[in-house]
Structure 1
């Protein structure tokens, strides 16, 4: 990784499709525990529902430039800040267990400073590292299959088919929508979606067969828990850290791009709008987002962080789909917005209420600023 300011002022991963893959790769270490708790053996049904909604979203976004209004941008910032916390905490837990929070903070701060300096992950290196993550997971799967670790008893009460919608909302984390400024093609979007679905389905099915939903639900870092007691814990830990670092850089880059757009629109208070001369990014704003992520790591666990991140992203997605009003929206956009609303309501009520309050505060603050 090196510092570079060409082609993108904000650094990070040069190609948005690679940034989406990086976030999905990190999500593979994060989503299984809360999804298994909600849906049990029906976890894969939740994955299917999430994939269908992501596919409809790809139809809605194909052939048009993506645009989010200021409220959607702020919600996106909130969602990514919490997502970064969840990703970092899960990766740190895969390495050091109970002492994960200090390492998670270091990962978040390091990724933020890297992007603030205009750091760049070249596409070739990103592809190499993502391929390494998949190879390490494959090696871990072979080791676990040969070692046949002893099953553990669990008294955790898990959900059933009624929890599939909640699981789908959480698993939607694996399918990041296009970022503003893109004009994604349907072919590219569906190809990325298909690869993600296949990898996630194989991994999810393997985890269910090897460990069962109760053990998955018990462990905050479910892949490491399944590998515990076998040599597979080493490749799983390495893969988790590599994937999380790439995802954190990708999320920080998206934050930087969003802050640039908000600053251009005059939506950022003056103390936070001053731009780094080298990158053009409002540095104080980026550090404020980093601070939110750090505080979230200290206060919340990974499952709660994931739920809040998904809820904020779902509301931002609804706003994006209906940015032209219901009358002016295409049918995929309307169906996608309706599906996002259903999944939002399927999340725990406290999560949905907290994000609804955040949305209300954003609208109130923007009204006074006008």
Structure 2
């Protein structure tokens, strides 16, 4: 079997993903730190996440249809160019000293809208670039690309922010433009394999497919609720500044710690793909995610906090690889856009909506109790989901034909 990185199109796509993810991670550091600097409000940090999630939720049916009917490569090109121009607004706002919380909220909505169209198209491209036997390794390799960016992006972003937010946003915009060019040059021929009429049944096809497949429904919903409850990334600026008594550089280190754990795990999984007991492994990984969240919430040491976040990232990566591979392997190509769009809502719920949830609970109960409550809630969800989705618990392999 030809090695994964011997496929030129996959390598091209992989590099483009690094550039795009690098841009977004640097941007997240800048927006998070500047918003907290402007407002000193945990709720404001949560609202940034909500502004990015709502467009994704509202456009779910539309973006899935678009990804199934139009060239997915060109969709990625257009959306990444839109993100670059959106970051350009923040560059202008900081250069003219007109940046405000409302400007950041507006840019968050624009970014969320662009990502709503990009995510299903980007996810649906991958199975067409490599043989299906290599898909699990490809998912792990793509995760590695993202985590490389997540490690370098926040760390470098925190340092660049010391030169001023304008410099940081300009760097992020440049990376988005680079990714745009790389995707434009990707050799990818898209053909519409079905011309079924556009109706309610067609638009809801992705959600219907997920609901009818208990293994996929269980895996995506488990991952969603785990990160929704246990994810505390929106609170990292507060933890860094108020609890750990550090600056933007410390925030960058905290942001890259989960990525370090995820990167190490994704590299391991790319070389040693999961071949047995994938259901039990997924539940165990999510439970560890909850425990790591509790340790992070109790920590008052930068080193211990980074270790807890590293473990958190590694366990989350196991869940991500299992979920993503199951979705791609069991979905027909002519439905991958709609299914990926529906899956993106689950991902967005866990990430952006999770940031909003963290901001609200921190405002109500305090930062530390909010993080601990989230970790305990994640462990509770694991126990409940083991009872609700026995088929997922019993799943032995990623490929149903070999189960």
Shared fold, TM over 0.5? no
Higher helix share: 2
TM-score (norm 1): 0.33
TM-score (norm 2): 0.31
Q: Which has the higher contact order (CA 8 A, sep 6+)?
A: 1
